[in-house]
A and B are shown apart, each in its own frame.
Chain A
């Protein structure tokens, strides 16, 4: 009680985010956390309550410091081709979001809420890019079709990161993203 924790909590959370971006939640043991974060076990429990508590802190740190800046630059991308390139350049920066979506969101309501709100933010940014075409007045009132298109664009760009992780020289996710974006761009500006 009242003793200094003897470690930098923000630094530990940041390092945990890096660990959880590369490996599943179940694949990271408390031994791994203690070894990689340089924190004593008892301090870890005292500060975060549980492994899940640390995971949530790491996920929130990551969404704020990595995903939100990406969302901001996507929103400013101006056209779908540039947005697709930004998403492709983000590369491993998307991995924690993908892992959390696949592994933890289905079994943890708090993770699901964080992930859903991040995905909505990406949808919103890509929607703004898709709407920035010359006839945006017409598309503004299309019964939700344009926001559905933004969701599909988000899903495609995140899916291409999954393809990239699988590797292989013939996958060409950069080219696939660019091809989709060019098609979207030409359809929208028609």
Chain B
């Protein structure tokens, strides 16, 4: 699970609980200017994820950590696909983040609204 909030001109992602061990990351801070959009996407988890380095991938249980696909680096932290949100970035270490959040609809509105204003 991840908590997503806005702090000034930044999008802040906090990885919660045991997931930070699997994802090898506890938080990410991204300038809103580099956030292109957010989408609730329960089907994302079925996509090929590419190769993992570093992180954990137990299919059907958890996808966490950094994955490389088609030359893009993608950060994953998803156990429950129904609650996955895809956040697309530009000019960042990660091309996109795939995060499990408590309320996908609210997170999408928060991120899209903040990215639009930045």
A residues engaging B (CB < 8 A)?
1, 3, 29-31, 34, 41-42, 45-46, 48-53, 107, 109-110
Contact = CB atoms under 8 A, between A and B. Distances in A.
Interface string B75-102: 0000000000010100000011000000
A64 B38 CA distance: 26
Given A45-B86, A45-B88, A50 B43 contact: no
A3 B72 CA distance: 12
A10 to B, nearest CB: 20
A-B pairs with lowest CB-CB distance, top 8 = A50-B37, A49-B36, A49-B37, A31-B43, A51-B39, A50-B39, A30-B41, A45-B88
A127 B75 CA distance: 54
Interface in B13-68: 36-39, 41-44, 47
B37 A42 contact: no
B88 A50 contact: yes
Contact of B88 (A34, A46, A107, A109): A46
A180 to B, nearest CB: 39
B39 A42 contact: no
Contacts of B112: 50, 52
A42 B70 contact: yes
Interface residues of B, number: 21
Given A1-B71, A45-B88, A45-B96, A50 B47 contact: no
B71 to A, nearest CB: 7
B15 to A, nearest CB: 21
A26 to B, nearest CB: 9
A52 B95 CA distance: 18
Given A41-B41, A50-B37, A51-B39, 8 more contacts: A30-B39, A30-B43, A30-B86, A31-B43, A41-B43, A50-B38, A51-B37, A51-B41
B52 to A, nearest CB: 16
Contacts of A52: 37, 39, 108, 112
A42 B43 contact: no
B106 interface: no
A3 B95 CA distance: 15
Nearest to A109: B116
A41 B47 contact: yes
A29 B42 CA distance: 9
Contacts of B86: 30, 45, 50
B94 to A, nearest CB: 12
Contacts of A42: 47, 69-70, 72, 96
A54 to B, nearest CB: 9
14 contacts: A1-B71, A29-B42, A29-B43, A30-B41, A41-B47, A46-B88, A50-B38, A50-B86, A52-B37, A52-B108, A52-B112, A107-B109, A109-B116, A110-B116
